Structure 1
Amino acid sequence: MRIALVCTEKLPVPPVRGGAIQTYIDGVLPFLSARHDVTVVGRTDPALPDREAVALAGPSLPQGRAGGGTVRHVRLPAEGGAESYGDRAAAFLATERWDVVEIFNRPAFVERIARAAPGARLVLSLHNAMFAPHRLSPAEARRILARVDAVVTISDFIRGSIARLYPEYAGKLRTIRSGVDLERFRPGPSPQSEALRARLGLAGRPVVLSVGRLSAKKGIHVLLEAMERVLLTHPEAVLVQVGSRWYGRDDADAYVQAVRQQAARLGDGVRMVGYVPYHEVDAYFRLGDLFVCASQWEEPLARVHYEAMACGLPIVTTDRGGNAEVVEEGRNGLLVRPCHRPEGFASAIQALLDDPDLRRRLGAEGRRMAEESFSWERVAREQLAVLEG
């Protein structure tokens, strides 16, 4: 089959600047391209050519050819925002014939792509609550859901939010949770993580790790307030916060400035690392002793949970949105309820710092869960079942 994967206008594929959707696409490409002719339509980036064909090495699904295949990348300008980019994507698709087009996180593209690729099966892949009423009117939503052949969501939370609004289309919805590179993200230190530990002055100190963008909905301010309490009982602990306001940049808005001032008051108890390229972020996971996600919003299901599990880290997270679908209380992590109370985070962090055996047990179970359920091979197998109809 000839398959087109249409990424959003936000970030390029491969994920040279990060991005959950971009990482998802990149993770399944070796498996999809082993069986089909795959083209990725994405945005341009200074680090990448506008057109290229990439031969992918790697394993295939049992029914596929040995090794990966060749993937074509067609990168289009993102100037003018989503609407202009969507028009460019549709114009490109109209120049060739497609068997299947999978559209990532942009339901608004569906109708124009349907016109551009007549006869193609259309699959909509949702990584956020894109059918919320403030995003799409009921009339628009029903037209889109009627036009697509299937809707893939990354969590039951996202799937359920659509099914509740439009129950007549529930049969088109399927959850396919994301995955993680189990070789890159694995338990134990690496040469890179040990070098980071030395550079950041972390020798002999328990590391509380957080990886995420610096925005109010990600709750970094709540975690920093929690660390004030943690440092009273565990002054040797240190929070390592990886992330910036947006992928690929370290400029500061008012929130980031406030968070940096808050962190400065904790002195040696915090390292604000800033933006880290995605190909380097695994080294930070491998120097952590526990992982914290302080989401304050209805998180679709943050992919950092998969990465922390793969690295054998016990997880402290909120039950907002889809997070609790992969983090079970007392099995591979601890859940903080309600999410806005820093004392809840402090108590969970202190419990893990006080009990090395608990940390090891939760972390080991997380790695086992990642190996069993969250490989890219599993994601690709389920995605192929949808694409192949």
Structure 2
Amino acid sequence: MKVCLVYPNLPPVVDGVGEYTCHLAGELAAQGVEVTVISGPVPEGAGKVCPVPGNVRLGRTIHRWGVRGLGRLLRAIRETECDVVALQYTPYAYARCGLGVGVALLPHILRVRLPCKVAVALHEPWIPFQGGPGRMLVAGWQRLATGYMVGACHRVIVTTEKRRRQLQRLMFPMGGNVSVVPVSSNIPVVECDRAAARAHLGVGDGETLFAIFGMSHRHRDYEAVYRCLRTLIAEGHACRLVNIGKIASPGRLQALCRLEKELGLEGYVSWTGFCDAETVSRSLQAADVAVMPERFGISTRQTTLMAALSHALPVVAWRGPETDPVLERSGAIVFVGAGDEEGLTAAMRAAVLDPDVRNSMGARGRELFEEHFSWPRVAGLTLKVLERL
């Protein structure tokens, strides 16, 4: 089978879906698929694009992803002579304003002009209906554009069960055309001197290090974790927190720094900022517990969760409407109802007091990852979906 993966941003551009696309391409190729990746340009001097094995081919570079660039994109896809085109979709990757018309038209044009089948993987198809009038209009447009786009696709892939239900019941009753394929981890496990990694983060002997991994968006309830950490420190527990990942905005950082000062947490909370995959892996291995305060609950669309599980790092997390049954049934994650700060404090306290429980949780998490979310598993599920076209 010949598969063409399409996504504008590949490494070294910082884009989680771009990293996902590279990993998926490499694993599909390892399973015998002829893979071509079509993407946009790389900033000058940024380094090698798409660090995947040599048996993955890079197609023609696309500089425009709007309507005016459709002709070049169509020619690039035709040159691959692929059996299936698999679009990786988030609206802001194809248009900075999130209102991409060209990508919404692309599946319809492909079905008319080329003999290949068309699939789309919806990673983040739309933003929620929140904020001012402009944001509400964008959210509505993105839903209309997604509906128009998937209406021309032979198969739609989503990353969570909730998203599948949304597409089938609320918007696009497409029956068996929607398949769930979870994400995997974009952070390979590297060799690590754990003592040195902990010392680098300022962790003392006997201290428990909690970690939050991911961009500091407002949908992550850092404030709740800070308050829980303050409670544990006030009880006399030796613990601290490291925030691993890119800071969403200066305003967000300033607000959290003010909260640190108000709660007396100065010296107990650190930030790594954006760092490469190797540094992230060492930081995760230095930590004792991952805390995932997603306001809508953790789910199988989060590569940050998969990174923690793959590193055998115990996870304490909010349970919410986004949380998938496979995670709840696993017994590998300590769940607390979203917003329950007393429950979160109790779960974090238990992790501090019992290292054996932490080790057991980490081992179960790693088993869960290997069974359901490893790259061979995710690529295999993707291939099964594409082979049914």
TM-score w.r.t. the length of structure 2 is 0.81
Give the corresponding residue for 1:103: 87
* Match 1:208 to one of 202, 207, 210: 210
Instruction: Return 112-121 or 232-241, whichever deviates more.
Output: 112-121
Once the two structures are aligned, what percentage of the paired residues are identical? Answer: 20
Q: What displacement does 1:169 show? A: 0.2
1:381 aligns with 2:380: yes
CA distance in 2, matches of 1:110, 1:164: 21
CA distance in 1, matches of 2:201, 2:50: 39
Give the corresponding residue for 2:313: 313
CA distance in 1, matches of 2:178, 2:352: 41
Q: What displacement does 1:202 show? A: 0.8
CA distance in 1, matches of 2:50, 2:251: 42
Give the corresponding residue for 1:93: 77
CA distance in 2, matches of 1:361, 1:54: 34
Instruction: Return 99-108 or 303-312, whichever deviates more.
Output: 99-108
CA distance in 1, matches of 2:328, 2:50: 41
Contact 2:213 2:244 in 1 (8 A): yes
1:72 aligns with 2:58: yes
Change (3 A) 1:132 1:253: closer
Give the corresponding residue for 1:365: 364
CA distance in 1, matches of 2:28, 2:234: 51
Give the corresponding residue for 1:161: 166
Give the corresponding residue for 1:331: 331
What letter is aligned with 2:189?
F
Q: What displacement does 1:94 show? A: 5.5
Change (3 A) 1:82 1:305: farther
Q: What displacement does 1:150 show? A: 0.5
* Match 2:253 to one of 251, 256, 264: 256
Give the corresponding residue for 1:194: 195
Give the corresponding residue for 1:44: 41
Q: What displacement does 1:308 show? A: 1.1
Change (3 A) 1:307 1:84: farther
1:20 aligns with 2:22: no
CA distance in 2, matches of 1:136, 1:123: 21
What letter is aligned with 2:58?
R
Contact 1:208 1:239 in 2 (8 A): yes
How many matched pairs?
Answer: 361
SS of the aligned residue for 1:202 comes to coil
SS of the aligned residue for 1:102 comes to strand
What letter is aligned with 2:196?
A
1:177 aligns with 2:182: yes
Gaps of 5+ in 2: 92-100, 130-138
Contact 2:4 2:80 in 1 (8 A): no
* Match 1:245 to one of 241, 244, 247: 247
CA distance in 1, matches of 2:330, 2:384: 33
Contact 1:329 1:335 in 2 (8 A): no
CA distance in 1, matches of 2:195, 2:42: 32
Gaps of 5+ in 1: 58-68, 247-251
Change (3 A) 1:203 1:122: same
Give the corresponding residue for 1:268: 267
SS of the aligned residue for 1:335 comes to strand
Contact 1:154 1:178 in 2 (8 A): yes
Q: What displacement does 1:271 show? A: 1.2
Q: What displacement does 1:280 show? A: 2.4
Contact 1:336 1:345 in 2 (8 A): yes
Contact 1:39 1:74 in 2 (8 A): no
What letter is aligned with 1:197?
R
Q: 1:219-230 maps to which residues of 2 (within 5 A)? A: 219-230=221-232
Q: What displacement does 1:82 show? A: 6.6
CA distance in 2, matches of 1:354, 1:305: 23
Give the corresponding residue for 2:136: none
Q: What displacement does 1:267 show? A: 1.7
SS of the aligned residue for 1:125 comes to strand
Give the corresponding residue for 1:152: 157
CA distance in 2, matches of 1:55, 1:269: 39
Larger helix percent: 2
CA distance in 1, matches of 2:364, 2:90: 35
* Match 1:231 to one of 230, 233, 236: 233
Q: 1:111-122 maps to which residues of 2 (within 5 A)? A: 111-116=105-110, 118-122=114-118
SS of the aligned residue for 1:203 comes to coil
Q: What displacement does 1:167 show? A: 5.6
Change (3 A) 1:143 1:215: closer
Change (3 A) 1:351 1:99: same
Give the corresponding residue for 2:96: none
Change (3 A) 1:201 1:6: same
| 1:123-143 deviation per Cα after TM superposition (whole angstroms, max 9, x unaligned) | 010122549783457765554
CA distance in 2, matches of 1:340, 1:382: 34
Instruction: Return 161-170 or 288-297, whichever deviates more.
Output: 161-170
| 1:78-111 deviation per Cα after TM superposition (whole angstroms, max 9, x unaligned) | 7xx8777777644643565432111112476142
Q: What displacement does 1:147 show? A: 1.0
SS of the aligned residue for 2:173 comes to helix
What letter is aligned with 2:22?
D
